[in-house]
């Protein structure tokens, strides 16, 4: 039976640790909960900790925490504070129990600043690569309102949902990407390697190749010669494009273009709407004023065109025009977003309606990705099949012409 290392908060408020044999992790959690303990961690005790530490050696000092590590640490910190632990003890527990060396260093710095008299929000602001303005703004609001445990719990949920949406998008695109790579590789192999093998046979026979076969032979030669230069050109183009996108004017044009694309643009609008409404709803729910919440939310979007629309909406809201109407004027967000936010404004429940809108947009984005994948996979397969069939048929036609010549 496998063993699990666990840590939990017992009835006295102390952190207890141990090793337990159980069929699976859920059995460990259930057993500890029956004992009245709040489970913090239950991981397999398989001796892989040392290797995990080696694999997590920092390769650079400028990288921050990823969303997975940040969500896990935020959840643990929320549990500790909700159990009645003071902030210093909760931070010490998280620092001592995390396996991520980078997280240990970042949180160690945060704990040192808190122990020196700084607020948690101010300490987090000293690590801008790990903690976003949204994270810091929510923590500051939680500290001001005396609701830091509940705020961290909501923040952990927000991070987990954002990570889940991003992971679903990435995982859904893996299979089509692999198909495209396989299709391109197969076609290049046929043109650059297989077809040239038959060229000496046709030359010795003195046969006049069909036009399609000659065209494919020429294309194969071009592909063989141009492939290295094409790769160099792609790398150079990628570097130049990256440098141009560092300039706000070019980045703004690209972001606007992406949002106007027929299919991808719709998916991006749903994703941006989900991010905006979830961020806005979480901030408003924690007592952040609307104008300040919009200022934080626009930085979390990652799209300059959408951020400009939110900034314009903030100016309109400051002038008394509300939020929904200026957002609708931009024409970037789905109509559903505008209607739900307008209902929230009219019913004085903007935070609640924004969070409901986020759930709807998350689901719509997930469904759109499923439909795109369902359409893309057979289309890629058909195009690949037609290309390979065309090359093979051209080769067979040439072989049949040799038989006719022999006759």
Q: How many residues does the chain have?
A: 407
Per-residue pLDDT, 407: 46
Main-chain phi, psi angles of 17, to 5 degrees: -135, 160
Indicate if the pLDDT at residue 403 is higher than 70: no
Q: Is the pTM of this model over 0.95?
A: no
- Residue span(s) of the chain under CATH 1.20.81.30 come to 3-160
Q: Across all residues in the chain, what is the average pLDDT?
A: 79
**pLDDT of 234-259, one tens digit each?**
899 888 888 888 888 888 888 889 88
- Confidence band for 61, pLDDT divided at 50, 70 and 90: very low
- Confidence band for 208, pLDDT divided at 50, 70 and 90: low
DSSP-based three-state secondary structure for 387: helix
- Confidence band for 57, pLDDT divided at 50, 70 and 90: very low
DSSP letters for 241-274: HHHHHTSHHHHHHHHHHHHHSSSHHHHHHHHHHH
Indicate if the pLDDT at residue 383 is higher than 60: yes
Domain 3-160 class, CATH top level: mainly alpha
Per-residue pLDDT, 14: 60
Per-residue pLDDT, 406: 47
């Amino acid at each position: 039976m496998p063993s699990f290392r666990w840590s939990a908060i017992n009835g006295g408020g102390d952190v207890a640790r141990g090793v337990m044999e159980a069929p699976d992790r859920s059995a460990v959690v259930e057993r500890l909960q029956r004992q009245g303990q709040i489970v913090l961690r239950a991981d397999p005790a398989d001796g892989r900790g040392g290797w995990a530490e080696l694999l997590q050696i920092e390769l650079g000092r400028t990288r921050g925490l990823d969303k997975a590590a940040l969500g896990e640490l935020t959840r643990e910190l929320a549990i500790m504070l909700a159990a009645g632990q003071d902030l210093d003890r909760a931070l010490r527990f998280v620092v001592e129990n995390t396996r991520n060396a980078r997280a240990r260093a970042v949180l160690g710095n945060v704990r040192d600043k808190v122990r020196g008299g700084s607020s948690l929000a101010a300490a987090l602001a000293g690590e801008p690569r790990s903690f976003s303005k949204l994270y810091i703004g929510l923590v500051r609001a939680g500290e001001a309102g005396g609701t830091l445990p509940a705020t961290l719990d909501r923040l952990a949920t927000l991070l987990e949902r954002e990570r889940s949406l991003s992971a679903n998008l990435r995982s859904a695109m893996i299979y089509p990407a692999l198909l495209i790579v396989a299709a391109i590789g197969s076609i290049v192999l046929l043109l650059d390697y297989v077809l040239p093998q038959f060229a000496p046979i046709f030359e010795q026979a003195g046969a006049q190749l069909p036009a399609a076969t000659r065209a494919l032979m020429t294309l194969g030669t071009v592909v063989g010669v141009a492939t290295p230069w094409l790769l160099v050109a792609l790398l150079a183009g990628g570097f130049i494009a990256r440098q141009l996108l560092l300039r706000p004017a070019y980045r703004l044009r690209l972001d606007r273009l992406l949002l106007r694309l027929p299919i991808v643009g719709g998916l991006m609008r749903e994703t941006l709407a989900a991010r905006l409404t979830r961020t806005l709803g979480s901030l408003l729910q924690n007592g952040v004023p609307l104008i300040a919440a919009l200022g934080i939310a626009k930085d979390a979007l990652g799209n300059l065109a959408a951020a400009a629309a939110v900034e314009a909406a903030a100016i309109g809201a400051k002038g008394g025009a509300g939020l929904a109407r200026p957002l609708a004027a931009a024409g970037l967000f789905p109509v559903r977003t505008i209607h739900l936010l307008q209902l929230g404004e009219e019913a004085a429940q903007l935070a609640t309606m924004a969070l409901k809108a986020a759930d709807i947009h998350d689901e719509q984005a997930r469904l759109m990705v499923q439909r795109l994948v369902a359409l893309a996979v057979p289309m890629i397969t058909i195009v690949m099949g037609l290309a390979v069939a065309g090359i093979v048929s051209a080769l067979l036609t040439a072989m049949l012409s040799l038989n006719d010549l022999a006759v």
